[in-house]
């Protein structure tokens, strides 16, 4: 019961305080998904300390780095987990499975510690760093409180709700899943890791628990709505963590009670904007408007506000900002910059996300600034291509990368999940994008590879197969044979192309087409214009 949960958390909180926890201190939590995990999180909150979430399934070296870098006062864990993580046993730790008698002697009720300051640490969470070294984002108490209150009120969560938690503890979204139910009195339902990985099992849990609220990434929602749409009928859906395509939004809206698209980086405390997807607005779903006590700016390179419809980088200010990166002052100063639109001394976070204001006053997500590439002199935003691909009715998911490991130089490659053929996708994109933004190559996949946090792992996307397809007819004339060899030379193919192959489907582009016509002129004496290619 809720009373039992609080009693257990109270006793653990008193023990934590006795071991040095309190406002300004950090306690690491290395526990499997279980009631103990919820008790420990609540206990740290009651002690006024901050917590460092550690997923026991993470590599031991990564957990060791996080512990060394964050230097928590104490680690709360179990004997089994500690046995697999040497870094845990090298520092002060409390194993809950052996501490029953000790905790039973501790009182219930308030610990008597001072109330934490809004700037004291609520949690420190590690995200991937561009250098390969994880960076710790320090989120203050005030930022977390602001987020939890907004989400509870925004989704009208009450004691009648059942909030289903599906996210690993090492991902910041899990904080919302745990704390919103605890604050509002809703029932918290924890899905096991194996259940989350099995759409059928997760759908059964949704139905069996009568869950009413759940948040997840587009990838997980796609699996549920495709295979088990009936299980979503009573759910208020929160979807975030990656860009949401129109087909998925439409499918969720048809299956679920309510769908809200949420957006936010770790550095601004989980979610910063929200948009109810009610179907009144066509096109790619927006990421909406800022949550409570949050300001958002769409700025150009000179930090000037971009007009409606113009793309710019998104900056976020307000109560949700993290303090910065633990022990990384230079990186903090680079990403958390002075806010020229706020009071003196205020800051804003440079997200690296490219967005624009829609005519209805909602933000539209375009993609990552660091996913911009320059090919043949053109600066290309990969997110814009991905948005157009997912707008195709036969595409469920899509991602685009610029590969430099292919013959013919850097080329755009589209990876799609769905039934659309490459020719149909190329024609679809040609209707809305300039030629230099239309990928040359398309790879159909059953699923897209994911990182541990449920986002597309671009490093695991396979190289496209180029060359003549199986069963292609042989050249019928010497001229055809020569053309096939010229195609192969220009495109860098290992063997002559098939006579009926498309130059562009094999990876050709406008500059290579110019070279192609020159070689044809030399080999065959035919003056072929580039547009004929």
pLDDT at 470: 43
pTM: 0.76
Number of other CB atoms surrounding residue 385 within 10 Å:
23
Number of other CB atoms surrounding residue 101 within 10 Å:
7
pLDDT at 384: 76
Beta bridge partners of 216: 239
DSSP assigned state of 446: S
pLDDT at 509: 62
> What does the DSSP assignment read for 212-276?
-EEEE-HHHHHHHHHH-GGGGTTPEEEE-SS---HHHHHHHHHHSSEEEEEE--GGG-S-SEEEE
| Residues 207 and 214 sit within 8 Å (Cβ to Cβ) | no
Question: Alpha-carbon distance 386 to 134, whole Å?
Answer: 28
Alpha-helical (H) ranges within 136-172 are 141-154
Question: Alpha-carbon distance 111 to 9, whole Å?
Answer: 11
Question: Alpha-carbon distance 343 to 354, whole Å?
Answer: 25
Number of alpha carbons in the 13 Å side-chain half-sphere of residue 320: 27
| Residues 267 and 321 sit within 8 Å (Cβ to Cβ) | yes
Backbone angles phi, psi at 69, to 5 degrees: -75, -45
Burial class, 159, CB count within 10 angstroms (exposed 0-12 / middle 13-18 / buried 19+): exposed
- Domains located in the chain, CATH noted: 1-110 (3.40.50.980), 376-460 (3.30.300.30), 478-532 (1.10.1200.10)
Using DSSP bridges, classify how beta strands 236-239 and 213-216 pair: parallel, antiparallel or unpaired: parallel
- As given in the structure block, the two tokens for residue 9 are 């958390």
Question: Alpha-carbon distance 245 to 253, whole Å?
Answer: 12
Burial class, 400, CB count within 10 angstroms (exposed 0-12 / middle 13-18 / buried 19+): buried
pLDDT at 469: 46
| Residues 254 and 278 sit within 8 Å (Cβ to Cβ) | no
Question: Alpha-carbon distance 210 to 334, whole Å?
Answer: 46
Q: Which residues of 103-137 are buried (b: 16+ CB within 10 A; e: fewer)?
A: beebeeeebebeebeeebbbbbbbbeeeeeebbbb
Question: Alpha-carbon distance 451 to 129, whole Å?
Answer: 14
Beta bridge partners of 124: 138
- As given in the structure block, the two tokens for residue 338 are 């002075």
pLDDT in tens, the chain (533 residues): 889 999 999 999 999 999 999 999 999 999 999 999 999 999 999 999 999 999 998 878 889 999 999 999 999 999 999 999 999 999 999 999 999 999 999 999 999 888 999 999 999 999 865 444 789 999 999 999 999 999 999 999 999 999 999 998 988 999 999 999 999 999 999 999 889 888 899 999 999 999 999 999 887 898 899 889 999 999 999 999 888 888 899 999 999 999 999 999 999 999 999 999 998 888 889 999 999 999 999 999 999 999 999 999 999 999 999 999 999 999 999 999 999 999 999 999 999 999 999 999 999 998 888 776 767 556 577 887 898 899 899 999 999 998 877 765 678 999 999 999 998 999 998 887 767 788 988 999 999 998 877 788 888 999 887 554 444 566 778 878 887 787 777 776 656 666 666 666 666 665 466 567 767 877 777 776 655 65
């Amino acid at each position: 019961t809720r009373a039992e949960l609080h009693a257990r958390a109270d006793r653990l909180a008193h023990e934590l305080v006795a071991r040095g926890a309190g406002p300004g201190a950090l306690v690491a939590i290395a526990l499997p998904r279980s009631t103990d995990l919820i008790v420990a999180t609540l206990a740290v909150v009651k002690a006024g300390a901050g917590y460092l979430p550690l997923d026991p399934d993470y590599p031991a070296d990564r957990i060791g780095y996080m512990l060394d870098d964050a230097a928590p006062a104490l680690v709360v864990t179990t004997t089994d987990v500690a046995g697999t993580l040497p870094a845990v046993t090298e520092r002060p730790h409390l194993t809950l499975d052996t501490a029953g008698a000790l905790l039973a002697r501790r009182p219930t009720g308030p610990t008597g510690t001072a109330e934490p300051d809004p700037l004291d640490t609520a949690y420190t969470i590690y995200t991937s760093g561009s250098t390969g070294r994880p960076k710790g984002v320090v989120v203050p108490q005030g930022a977390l409180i602001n987020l939890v209150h907004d989400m509870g009120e925004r989704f009208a969560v009450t004691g009648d709700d059942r909030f289903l938690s599906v996210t690993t503890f090492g991902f910041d979204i899990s904080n919302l899943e745990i704390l919103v139910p605890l604050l509002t009195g809703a029932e918290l339902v924890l899905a096991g890791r194996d259940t989350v990985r099995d759409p059928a099992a997760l759908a059964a849990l949704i139905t069996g628990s009568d869950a009413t609220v759940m948040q997840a990434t587009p990838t997980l929602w796609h699996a549920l709505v495709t295979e088990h749409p009936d299980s979503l009928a009573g759910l208020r859906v929160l979807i975030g963590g990656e860009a949401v395509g129109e087909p998925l939004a439409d499918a969720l809206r048809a299956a679920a009670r309510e769908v809200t698209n949420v957006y936010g980086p770790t550095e601004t405390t989980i979610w910063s904007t929200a948009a109810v997807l009610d179907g009144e607005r066509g096109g790619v779903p927006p990421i909406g408007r800022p949550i409570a006590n949050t300001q958002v700016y769409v700025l150009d390179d000179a930090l000037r506000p971009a007009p409606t419809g113009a793309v710019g980088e998104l900056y976020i200010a307000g109560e949700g900002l993290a303090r910065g990166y633990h022990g990384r002052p230079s990186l903090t100063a680079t990403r958390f910059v002075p806010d020229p639109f706020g009071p003196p001394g205020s800051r804003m976070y440079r997200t690296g996300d490219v967005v624009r204001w829609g005519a209805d006053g909602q933000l539209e997500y375009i993609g990552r600034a660091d996913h911009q590439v320059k090919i043949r002199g053109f600066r290309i935003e990969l997110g814009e291509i991905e948005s157009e691909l997912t707008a195709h009715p036969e595409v469920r998911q899509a991602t685009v990368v610029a590969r430099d490991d292919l013959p013919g130089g850097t080329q755009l490659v589209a990876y799609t999940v769905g039934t659309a053929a490459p020719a149909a996708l190329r024609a679809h994109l040609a209707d809305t994008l300039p030629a230099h933004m239309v990928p040359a190559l398309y790879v159909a996949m059953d699923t897209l590879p994911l990182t541990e946090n449920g986002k597309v792992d671009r490093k695991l996307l396979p190289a496209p197969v180029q060359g003549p397809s199986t069963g292609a007819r042989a050249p019928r004339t010497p001229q055809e044979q020569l053309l096939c060899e010229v195609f192969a030379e220009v495109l860098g193919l290992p063997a002559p192309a098939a006579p009926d192959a498309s130059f562009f489907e094999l990876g050709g582009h406008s500059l290579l087409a110019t070279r192609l016509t020159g070689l044809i002129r030399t080999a065959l004496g035919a003056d072929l214009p580039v547009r004929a290619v």
